[in-house]
Amino acid sequence: MAQFDYDLFTIGAGSGGVRASRMSASFGAKVAVAEERELGGTCVNVGCIPKKLLVYAAHYGDDFDDLPGYGWTVGQRRFDWAKLIENKNKEILRLNGIYRKILADAGVTLIEGHAEVIDAHTVAVDGKRITAKYILVAVGGWPAVPKFPGSEYAITSNEAFYLPSLPARVIVVGGGYIGVEFAGIFHGLGAQTTQIYRGELFLRGFDDDIRITLADEMRKRGIDLRFNSRIANIEKSGALLKATLTDGNILEADQILFATGRDAKTPDLGLEKAGVKLKDDGAVAVDEYSKSTVDSIYAIGDCTDRMMLTPVAIAEGMALANTLFNNQPTMPCYLNVPTAVFSTPSCGTVGLTEAEAIERGHQVDIYRSTFKPLKHTLTGRDERTMMKLVVDQTTDRVLGCHMVGADAGEITQGLAIALNCGATKAQFDMTIGIHPSAAEEFVTMRTKVSD
C-alpha cells in the first residue's frame, strides 16, 4: 500500500505549477493539482496574455494616424471597448481549456477548490484531506492597493481587464511594468491618461537610458507623467473621482488604477502552522532548489518573491521536476534573464545595466545610439529608438543590452542567447546586420559614448 496518496501535490495551476506538475508526471510521479480559480494563473487570465492583447489594440490608433504617409486613406474610425473585452474573454476561455487538457493528457489529477496545508505531507481541499510525499506551493501573487482615505475607490489591473466601458479619464498609479503598460493602453485607446509615480523616474531597476527615453516618448504622445508624487486621498461624487495629490493638486478621473505592487497569495494556506517560514511580505522563503524550511514543501513563482516573470516560474517548475523526480538536482538559473515592457514604445533588456556593471567592479565601455526608425521617415511621427550596449573593457564581453523602440522584446530575445554564450563586442561587430532593420544597429555601433 502506498504511503501517500500522491508523490506531488501542487497548489496553484498557473504557469509554474502546471509545468512542474506535468513534467513530474512525465517522470513517473503521481501528481495532483488544486486550483480554486481559473486555470493558467495570473499570466493567462489577468496578466501577460490579456495585457498583450490590449497593447495590440492600443497600437491601432497610431497605425491609423501613420497611414497617410504611405498613401492610405481610411474612413471614420470607431473603437468598441466592449467588443475588445468580449473577444479577449473568448481567447482566455480557450486558453483555460488548453491548460485543462495539458494536465489531463499528462495524467495529472485536477482538483478544483481551495487547498490548505495541514502538515508536512497533508493538504485539505474544501475539508477533504490528501497526503503527498512533496507539496508544491505555486499560488502566485495578487495586486494590492495601499490603505489611505478613499483607497476603496481605486481598482487594480485585475478589474481593468473587465471594465464595462473605456473610461474617458484615467489615473494610473505606479511605475513598474504594469503601470507603464496600462498607461500606454488607456492612452492608445483614447483615454486622457495621467501616470503618477512616487520616485524620480519610473521603471526602477532598469537601465537609466531606458527610463529616460521612455519617459520622453510617453510625454511626446500626450501622457501626463507626474513623478515625485502620490495620491493623498480620493473622493467620489457620483461617477466622478477626485484625487488629491501630496503636492495639493487635484485631478479628476473616471477610473484610478493602482499598480503599486503585488502580494504573495499565501494567507489562508496554513503554511506557517505547518512550519514554513514566510518573509515579511508574505513570500515563501526558499533555498536555491526552491525548498522551503520544511523539507517536503517547495514553492516556486511569484509567491517566492524572486523574479516575478512567467518564464522564470516555468523554469523554476522544470528545475523542481528534475530535482524531485528525474534524479537531476537543478537550480533555476537567473543569469541574463531577458525581459520586455510592453509600453508605448516597448522596452527590452537583458544583462547588467550600466549602474549594475559599475557597482560590480567592471570598467565599462558604453555604446549608445538613438535614431528615428525608418518607418517614421514617411509618417512624420516624432519617435526615437534607443539602443545601448554595456561592455567590459578588460574582456570585451557584452554585459548588457538595452532598447526602447518597436519590437524591443522580439529583438532582445535573440540578444539574450548571445549574452549567455559569452559574446564579445568584437563578435557583435563581426556579425552581419539585416538591412534595413532596427535590429542591425546592435551590430553596427562602433563609437563609444564619452564619459
Helix (H) or strand (E) holding 415: helix 408-420
333: three-class secondary structure by DSSP: coil
**Which position among 59, 187, 376, 435 bears the catalytic label?**
435
**For 185-259, where are the E strands, in sequence order?**
192-196, 224-226, 231-237, 240-245, 250-253, 255-258
Q: Which residues contact 234 (CB under 8 A, 6 or more apart)?
A: 148, 149, 150, 151, 153, 154, 241, 242, 243, 244, 256
Does residue 376 carry a catalytic annotation?
no
Question: How far, in Å, CA of 204 to CA of 227, rounded?
Answer: 12
> For residue 308, how many other CB atoms are within 10 A of its CB?
17
Cell triple for 175: 511605475
Q: Are 53 and 188 in contact (CB under 8 A)?
A: no
> For residue 436, how many other CB atoms are within 10 A of its CB?
9
Residue by residue, DSSP assigns 85-109 as HHHHHHHHHHHHHHHHHHHHHTTPE
327: three-class secondary structure by DSSP: coil
Question: How far, in Å, CA of 358 to CA of 375, rounded?
Answer: 35
- For the chain, how long is the longest CA-to-CA vector? 75
**Residues recognised as catalytic:** 435
